[in-house]
Amino acid sequence: MTGNDHDDPTERPCRIDPRSLGEEGAARRNHLIFEKSPYLLQHAENPVAWFPWGDTAFAIARRENKPIFLSIGYSTCHWCHVMAHESFEHPDVAAVLNRAFVSIKVDREERPDIDQAYMTACQLLTGSGGWPLNLVLTPDKKPFFAATYLPRQRHRGMAGLIEILERISHAWQTDQAGILQSSSQITFALLQHNLPTGENHPLMDQPLRDAGPDYQKAFDRDYGGFGDAPKFPAAHNLSLLLRLARRFNAPEMGQMALWTLRRIRRGGIYDQIGHGIHRYSVDREWVVPHFEKMLYDQAMLILACTDAFQYSGERDFRQTALETAGYVCRDLGDPRGGFHSGEDADSEGAEGTYYVWTPSRVHEVLGHEAGTVFCRSFSIDEQGNFEGKSIPVMRDGVAELAQKARVDPTALAALLEESRRKLLAVRQQRVRPHRDDKVLTAWNGLAIAALARAGAVFGEPTLVEAARRAARFILAELRWPDGRLLRRWRQNEAAVPGFLEDYSFLSWGLFELYQADFHLEDLKTSLELTEQMIDLFDDGQNGLYDTGRDAEVVLDRGRSLQDGALPSGCSVAALNLLRLGRICGRTDLEQRGEQLLQNGMILYADYPRAYAQHLIALDIALSPPTDIVLAGGFEDPKAEQFLASLRQVLLPEAVISLTDKADPELTALIPAAANKPPIAGETTAYVCRNRSCRAPATTVGQMIDQLDEKPA
């Protein structure tokens, strides 16, 4: 499937000569060399006869009556690499797989539908999940065995892959009927698991009230974050806490978010030399990370830090947001405008090699005096904190360090920044971790939202322009002529029909672009994508499927509601529908967003921390609609003053529009902007709360007073 072929959106192009299907040798060759996915290409020289997901592999399995060995991972996954080196590169494993199975490799980032279906199956079968994800299926795609990482041979009581494969092969030969019955039962349970609750509850704030105590129980008061190690940033949880603090006048909620962000920023999970955040921390102190860097984690951190700055006014959050945005643009940016997916944890055959230091190496680069200051400031010592070397960590902030050393904090900050830049230049000469250079629509949507919002709030137009270049690239390269979004682009090929998250995340990004610089085309395209989303993904029960009605159905179309490491497509869709409905005066969209939230009310009540982004949308749904129209000139300094003041505070329920003339196209799209002229030729703010407009405000103070009024 390519971006130029819209005839059959459900299958990849068949790059295997169909005439070879009857030949024993052809079915025993590795066919991944023809793929675009970096993950699949990492396995293209394995002795295993891998196939990509598609009809060819399943046709062979049916003809030869063999089970499918399905292996799912992604190119920056450390344990995927470990299993590849231990097992899939080993001739003994290949011999078993090639003799008794038809083997399929899937990139979970390209095909989240396949990953979600079989991850749910793994969780039902084993009680847990993760990657690499390995399953055995019948030729009609029904699972009957699942596991994550497996050693090649039996190890410490854990059965090895070869042993397990031989057992499964024997069972397939001797009790195929029993396996088929079991696989049907598992598939039925899987389908039941994905059914909607069937319960539709009115919107209320109880889940929001319950969320705070739930976070407090799990909060680590020493180091921030929630629960035990490993700790994931999951920054949308922090954005939710800031909204809870604001809604309920509960500063303790906000302090949990702020403290967590401070500890993350000082820890090893944050790259102190090159900036950006690693995947997660293996310890509760945020010192030792799992070193891979994902685009979506960067985007969510930027958004949370921007929220934290607006909530608290602390400039440290501004710095973290801008540093992380700088990393995204510098190291993940594609020359054509989009953003790559992430960077691996491994380089030179080991995890973290690219990121660690020794005192001697730091002194070699910086000299004795500056090196000593840097090592002391970033806890780099002879003992090390990671396999005998040091991950840079800031135990104290610059102000505390300066006070202890009795030096000027400004001078210390300047010295440390100069040293950091020198060390970064040296580090960039090392062997870099692998970068997954595919461009995913959904993750780029998050990056566009983050960069546009940070650029607007912090007055950094270069970030808004970076977001705009990415949006132009996605809309030009990852759509069919009829407007249908695609999932993945790499090496001039777009493929895979877009999923719910692709539509909802990109729509979010375009909405934030409109809020950043008020190009009406961004709002129109966000609305267009949202309307197309409803058409493609509607489940007929006021909910949304993950997979479009025009795309391949793996086991079912899936409904992923939980907000995990990144928000679900459904929760962001609800957010978009509410905001677009309000700014465009479309009560039908607003009601559709409310319906999505009503479907999940019982789930939010049971486990609020699993639905953080849904609760962010619920907070907006239960807040009085706030329209702010700035009527005046785009170049008017007074308009900039109004915007700057609005962007200094956290106003998640507010939507802003800016107009400098009577524009029929704008007022047709944004009815609230009609009949709101500038007063005396100067930019004027019109604040409308709960669909009731206040008197025109001609000063920033008047506008802020109106926003501070308690709504009826």
Q: What is the DSSP string of 61-84?
A: HHHHT--EEEEEE-TT-HHHHHHI
Dump pLDDT digits (tens) for 220-262.
999 999 999 999 998 999 999 999 999 999 999 999 999 999 9
Rounded Cα distance, 597 and 593, in Å: 7
Q: From CA 652, how far away is CA 441, in angstroms rounded?
A: 24
What is the pLDDT, as a whole number, of residue 16?
39
Q: Residue 230: is the preceding peptide bond cis (ω within 30°)?
A: yes
SS (H, E, C) 122-180: HHHHHCCCCCCEEEEECCCCCEEEEECCCCCCCECCECCHHHHHHHHHHHHHHCHHHHH
pLDDT > 70: what percent of the chain?
A: 95
pLDDT over threshold 80, residue 308: yes
Look at residue 367 in the predicted model and tell me its pLDDT: 97
Q: How far is CA 520 from CA 24, 478, 574, 672, in A?
A: 59, 21, 22, 14
Band the pLDDT of 4: cuts 50, 70, 90.
very low
pLDDT of residue 27 exceeding 70, the answer is no
Q: What is the pLDDT of residue 26?
A: 53
Is residue 528's pLDDT more than 90?
Answer: yes
CATH 1.50.10.10 location in the chain: 206-348+436-621
SS3 365: helix
| CATH number at 18-193 | 3.40.30.10
pLDDT of residue 23: 42
Determine if the peptide bond prior to 38 is cis (ω within 30°). no
- Which CATH class name applies to 206-348+436-621? mainly alpha
Average pLDDT over residues 290-298: 97
Residue 20, pLDDT score: 39
The closest of 257, 266, 268 to 230, measured between CA atoms, is 268
Q: What is the pLDDT of residue 626?
A: 94
Query: 380 CB contacts (<8 Å, ≥6 apart)?
Result: 357, 358, 359, 362, 374, 390, 392
Supply the pLDDT for residue 21.
40
Overall average pLDDT of the 49-74 stretch: 97
Q: What is the pLDDT of residues 648-682, one digit of tens each?
A: 999 999 999 998 777 888 989 999 988 888 988 88
- pLDDT of amino acid 215: 96
Note the pLDDT tens digit of each residue in 568-581: 999 999 999 999 99
Sign of CA dihedral 596, 597, 603, 609: positive
Torsion of CA 371, 262, 342, 361, to 10 degrees: 10
CA distance 382 to 376: 12
Q: Given a cut of 70, is residue 9 above it in pLDDT?
A: no
> From 2.30.30, 3.40.30, 3.20.20, 1.20.1250, which CATH number describes the 626-708 domain?
3.40.30
Q: Which residues contact 602 (CB under 8 A, 6 or more apart)?
A: 197, 199, 201
Pairing between strand 68-73 and 102-107?
A: parallel
**Ranges of CATH 3.40.30.10 domains, the chain:** 18-193
8 Å CB contact between 341 and 445: no
Q: In which element (H, E) is residue 294 found?
A: strand 293-294
pLDDT at 159: 86
Give mean pLDDT, residues 291-316.
Answer: 97
Measured CA to CA, the distance from residue 160 to residue 151 in angstroms comes to 5
Tell me the per-residue pLDDT of 137-173, one tens digit each, with 9 for 90 and over. 999 999 999 999 999 998 877 789 999 999 999 999 9
Q: Has residue 11 got a pLDDT over 50?
A: no
Residue 13 has pLDDT above 50, yes or no: no
pLDDT tens-digit series, residues 160-213: 999 999 999 999 999 999 999 999 999 999 888 777 666 678 999 999 999 999
In sequence order, the 6+-apart residues with CB closer than 8 A to the CB of 109 are: 39, 74, 341, 436, 438, 440, 488
Asked if the model's pLDDT at residue 506 lies above 60, the reply is: yes
Where residue 502 falls (left for φ over 0; alpha for ψ -120 to 50; beta otherwise) is: alpha
Residue 10 has pLDDT above 50, yes or no: no
Residue 493: pLDDT over 80: yes
CA–CA separation, 283 vs 230, rounded Å? 6
pLDDT for residue 481 is more than 50 = yes
568 CB neighbour count, 10 Å cutoff = 25
In tens, the pLDDT along 598-631 reads 998 989 988 999 999 999 999 999 999 999 999 9
Contact 377, 346 (CB under 8 A): no
